[in-house]
Structure 1
């Protein structure tokens, strides 16, 4: 088996560290190359090689830097682990792949737009016959607010059309709250509240070329400030199969996460994140190593067989790592770092 050279960009994020740790457990022969904008990010010291790169919003400089790393390290695949870099890789994916032959595990802009804009997400679900929470826009649909409240009843969810986690999300319990929460706001949606009496679920679906589903796992998650801090894996096959159906229509590429709750026993997706998830590391522990699956399927051309998922719970606890100060100083000076992992 040939050695696969993998670039993990934004390697210091929670997702980046989880990708690296997942791949370090793999039986594949791998050379893990991490890059980040700051020398004080953990992923740089867990991988085999480390590089400092400019911020992705400096597009030309960033592209030059990444192409240099691809050439120097003979990179075969890129995992994008920073939400700040997703737009760059989405817009440059085809060009980078054509120039270098690497696999860039991210989505094209059309798919990103559907997922990143919650109004477009709802319309995608509606148009394709999937369950969806009743939703209106503000200010475009402000004349429909009374009718909307009559239909869905309180409480209702108010949140930005774009954004992740619970940032900017409010629950309105009475009419007076609404005008106060919407004052001077743009690009907002008002959405039917989905009950949480059955909990909230996150389903990870990995897809290959043409949206071919490679793996799926559903976790019941327990949140703190929008982040999954604990999760249960159980027999959630019906939810996983439903999200696979959605993925087969959406046809994302790489990792994709569906956030949902149950209404009358049916899965209602309210958010789709076309990227690695904060629960990537949890999934790997439970038997679904998404990064490894993508390399096996898309780089090596292997047939993927779904591993047995452990019926277990995972609790997240942050750890502290010792890093030699001289390594940080060398990276800050722009000196490429090779670790003896």
Structure 2
């Protein structure tokens, strides 16, 4: 191999990103320098936060520069190493980005053992999405046995884990998703007590019926219609971890309609609601607990997961559009190269 395939950020999108903003190109094969490792990408993780990285707006992390390879976590295999701790054929978690090969600093890598868990889980249930669910629910949601927890985007990479942890804690768990098959999946596979399709005309009535004792914890992944509906069901002292607002990531202007902020602030005051936005790295100190707890829950079958794998880097942009519009089922991955650990 002498050439590398990459998807770059050619221009900043206004609205839904497409291949104009994220074209596929060929570039010279990278060569590792001292302290670096050349990694062949097996899986590219696609996550909602990437939409924010495409924008120039100030956020909790720097934007991707125009002309640069789009960033993202990858699972890959070492092709060549100039770092003493990594050898050819090692499997690693790497900040490789949207490309087939990446030369990355050894200090940014983590070795993966396929005998312990499927390597794809390093960017899923045992990686950033799983830790996001664990840390946000434990530190902000603080679910107590007998409480009702509502999870938006319940069939997604984070939501599926949030609901299962809440069930382990003894809560009633109600999911919200955008398709009937997603709702069936979270109930039948993950043990949610109920799941409601927000696209149904009687969504508000269905959600109220599924939460007869009100809502004590609401995991916010979405915003929009889902948030305004669950807002009417909050109990006093409800906790709302704000993980994402995917319904608004492609907004290019202020929403239509009346200003609802005064009413929201009134509810926050009267019901003594706790809203807290967070980024998973705010809780790095909980990483050892996560590794221990989640590893045991997955091994014991208490936490299950679904992966949605799309083949081919050339399909990454379409898959990302699907992620932003709710088309994926579970954790979304692009299989960029062969996975020798799978039969």
Would you call these one fold, judging by a TM-score over 0.5? no
TM-score normalized by the length of structure 1: 0.28
TM-score normalized by the length of structure 2: 0.28
